[in-house]
């Protein structure tokens, strides 16, 4: 009997990934949604906010710059390297950075007025379990606010990279982007997971399109191939192929969007629900 290969760890942002992620991927696809997500907090005026899967802090920085100084912000992530990068960039005012697993939050019940998560829910191995943890740490009437990417076909640079890598590894194409970042896009599935987590109200789900812009086709190619766990899938197939994979991805983006400044569609679902 042939041993099965270990399941990929799609949540591991290790080594140099955090720097590439923050310098290229954050402005490419995360910054366009950060301000709008914070605005969704609206008139709830939370005095304590927990951010889960904060990454390198793009939303944390908007929270710190937008909310009153009296609002306490705790930003958590599973990867210490991401938090180190976030702390190095800094925020407009102090926030608390904590290493924490969204599946087992190290906070007491009813500790926060709002829980916010930008593009992290797709990585939770048990979505309903993580949502239940968010509900547990929310005060009654508190707001759980998060977003997830729509299907990969609605996110053009990621789609182009995925297609390019399928030509490099036709027998075993890397599927990280399709499987995880762009794999949790059905509103009905999100609603079922929230109900299973114990939320009794119906969520508000909005689909929001935006634009992703870069100075050259190579920037998104590097961002996806070297700033995400897609890098692990490429090097697992061929340790010497990262440069070629990046070049092929850049060429595919150039064919579709031009060789200078590039501009592609991105699309996400924004979800809000009260406890």
For the chain, domains (ranges, CATH) are: 17-274 (3.40.50.150)
Summarize pLDDT for 51-62 with one digit per residue, the tens: 999 999 999 999
pLDDT at 14: 57
User: What is the residue whose two structure tokens read 């992530």?
Assistant: 77
Strands 262-274 and 138-149: antiparallel
Other beta carbons within 10 Å of 166: 14
Summarize pLDDT for 176-223 with one digit per residue, the tens: 999 999 999 999 999 999 999 999 999 999 999 999 999 999 999 999
Q: What is the DSSP letter of 241?
A: -
**pTM to 2 decimals?**
0.93
CA 272 from centre of chain: 16
Q: Please work out, in degrees rounded to the nearest 5, the angle formed at the alpha carbon of residue 111 by the alpha carbons of 107 and 117.
A: 75
Residue 226 · residue 117 · CB < 8 Å = no
**Residue 271: which of 183, 141, 102, 147 has the closest Cα?**
147
Mean pLDDT of the chain: 94
What angle separates helix 156-168 from helix 242-257, to the nearest 10 degrees? 130
What angle separates helix 230-237 from helix 156-168, to the nearest 10 degrees? 10
Question: What tokens appear for 72 in the block?
Answer: 């306490």
């Amino acid at each position: 009997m042939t041993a099965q290969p270990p399941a990929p760890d799609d949540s591991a942002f290790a080594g140099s990934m955090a720097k590439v992620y923050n310098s290229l991927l954050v402005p490419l696809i995360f910054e366009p949604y950060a301000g709008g997500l914070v605005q969704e907090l609206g008139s709830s005026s939370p005095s304590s906010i927990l951010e889960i899967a904060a990454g390198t802090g793009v939303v944390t920085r908007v929270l710190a710059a937008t909310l009153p100084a009296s609002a306490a912000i705790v930003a958590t992530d599973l990867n210490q390297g991401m938090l180190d990068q976030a702390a190095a960039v800094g925020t407009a005012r102090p926030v608390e950075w904590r290493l924490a697993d969204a599946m087992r939050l190290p906070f007491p019940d009813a500790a926060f007025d709002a829980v916010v998560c930008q593009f992290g829910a797709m990585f939770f191995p048990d979505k309903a379990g993580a949502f239940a943890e968010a509900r547990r740490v929310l005060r009654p009437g508190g707001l759980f606010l998060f977003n997830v990417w729509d299907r990969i076909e609605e996110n053009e640079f990621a789609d182009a990279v995925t297609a390019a890598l399928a030509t490099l590894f036709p027998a075993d194409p890397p599927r990280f982007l399709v499987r995880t970042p762009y794999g949790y896009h059905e509103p009905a599935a999100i609603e079922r997971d929230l109900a299973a987590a114990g939320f009794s109200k119906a969520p508000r789900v909005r689909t929001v399109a935006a634009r992703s812009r870069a100075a050259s086709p190579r920037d998104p190619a590097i961002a996806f191939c070297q700033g995400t766990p897609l890098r692990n899938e490429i090097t697992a197939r061929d340790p010497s192929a990262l440069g070629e994979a990046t070049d092929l991805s850049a060429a595919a983006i150039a064919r579709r969007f031009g060789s200078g400044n590039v501009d592609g569609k991105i699309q996400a679902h924004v979800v809000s629900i009260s406890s």
